[in-house]
A = this chain, B = another copy of it.
């Protein structure tokens, strides 16, 4: 275990009805909010109305930025920044899933900066003052409600880049699992795959972290237990609650601290959604088993064995390499069981841009669990065709 600094000061209001704390929480951080949301589902399920009621009853003024896309674009960020400056906004209030919260975080980091938001994304070290972000979560997936990260797309350049800064971590988030009961099977399955991928990205590390690895397995088991239930029974609140709280802990930092990690599958998937605008979690479900097969070798087999025995319940008496292969098979089968695609063809991606993507990814994944050359990355993409 390596030295680290742990600091996760986000306050979480978890459970049905916690929206009733929103007014008081927002007011503790500002008086004029930018209300950020996506395609408008929150207007149908009552979350918009509940939010507005809370703000009004606590005398919090607000202006709105709606229409934030999945894979949020830098153009939305720029629009939000302009609104903040025009109206003297002092707190950002995203209501939605990870895309909405990510967009809000980069708005918060850009308002007081002289830099264009895309420069903020490219150069997080130049982030200065960041407005407080209070989020209301409606989709369990990215963990943006409790982490320091945001992923922003720039369609002009086909770039989709992650940016992280401790000041971008929300100061508070409302997590009401009943808000996710209207999430459809596809988004539920994709969200679960995203949570699991966050866990895989840190589980496979060259640093020993026994406690972290057992905790990571605990969260993986929770996904395995409740992902399929939530897909089949969208109104199962216990399943939704477990997935929601797991989504936050998968990526808020605890599973990583003390270990050296460099993510591989996420950067590879970001290229897919940058070029084809596919659902992030679906792309991860396609790539993950292929990445696992590519990095399985004599040295990594014991780690895959742990995954097989501790998460998938594979018989520990089998040979290490056999358990490792079964762990990968079970992972792939699990994604298929939840209705996710297994090939790039199923989401309309052909070979044409794979070489360009591989070239873009290669320099981003230095220090990974298993170092991959551009040719090896391309081979993984091709295996997934």
Residues of A within 8 A of B (CB): 1-9, 11-18, 21, 177, 208, 210-211, 214-215, 217-219, 221-222, 225-226, 238, 241-242, 245-246, 249, 257-258
A14 touching B9 by the CB < 8 A rule?
no
Candidates B5, B214, B226; contact of A13 at CB < 8 Å: B5
Q: For residue A221, which residues in chain B have a CB less than 8 angstroms away from its CB? A: 214
* Docked CA distance A238–B212 (Å): 12
Candidates B14, B210, B219; contact of A226 at CB < 8 Å: B210
B3 touching A18 by the CB < 8 A rule?
yes
B245 touching A258 by the CB < 8 A rule?
yes
CB pairs A–B below 8 angstroms (15 shown):
A1-B15, A1-B241, A1-B242, A4-B14, A4-B15, A6-B14, A7-B11, A8-B8, A14-B258, A211-B218, A211-B246, A214-B218, A214-B222, A215-B218, A215-B219
Q: For residue A215, which residues in chain B have a CB less than 8 angstroms away from its CB? A: 215, 218-219
* Docked CA distance A342–B48 (Å): 59
* Docked CA distance A384–B51 (Å): 56
A1 touching B214 by the CB < 8 A rule?
no
Q: For residue A257, which residues in chain B have a CB less than 8 angstroms away from its CB? A: 14
- Chain B's nearest CB lies how many Å from the CB of A195? 11
B12 touching A6 by the CB < 8 A rule?
yes
* Docked CA distance A218–B221 (Å): 11
* Docked CA distance A324–B12 (Å): 35
Q: For residue A222, which residues in chain B have a CB less than 8 angstroms away from its CB? A: 210-211, 214
A11 touching B6 by the CB < 8 A rule?
yes
A146 and chain B: residue at smallest CB distance: B6
- Chain B's nearest CB lies how many Å from the CB of A72? 26
A248 and chain B: residue at smallest CB distance: B6
Q: For residue A12, which residues in chain B have a CB less than 8 angstroms away from its CB? A: 5-7
A225 and chain B: residue at smallest CB distance: B210
A242 touching B210 by the CB < 8 A rule?
yes
Q: For residue A2, which residues in chain B have a CB less than 8 angstroms away from its CB? A: 15
- Chain B's nearest CB lies how many Å from the CB of A166? 11
A12 and chain B: residue at smallest CB distance: B6
Query: Assuming the A-B contacts A211-B242, A218-B218, A242-B210, are A16 and B3 also in contact, with contact meaning beta carbons closer than 8 angstroms in the complex?
Result: yes
Q: For residue A5, which residues in chain B have a CB less than 8 angstroms away from its CB? A: 11-14, 21
- Chain B's nearest CB lies how many Å from the CB of A224? 10
- Chain B's nearest CB lies how many Å from the CB of A360? 35
Q: For residue A210, which residues in chain B have a CB less than 8 angstroms away from its CB? A: 222, 225-226, 238, 242
Query: Assuming the A-B contacts A9-B9, A225-B210, are A1 and B245 also in contact, with contact meaning beta carbons closer than 8 angstroms in the complex?
Result: yes
* Docked CA distance A21–B211 (Å): 24
A210 and chain B: residue at smallest CB distance: B242
* Docked CA distance A157–B313 (Å): 52
Q: For residue A9, which residues in chain B have a CB less than 8 angstroms away from its CB? A: 9
- Chain B's nearest CB lies how many Å from the CB of A13? 6
- Chain B's nearest CB lies how many Å from the CB of A185? 21
- Chain B's nearest CB lies how many Å from the CB of A93? 19
* Docked CA distance A11–B5 (Å): 7
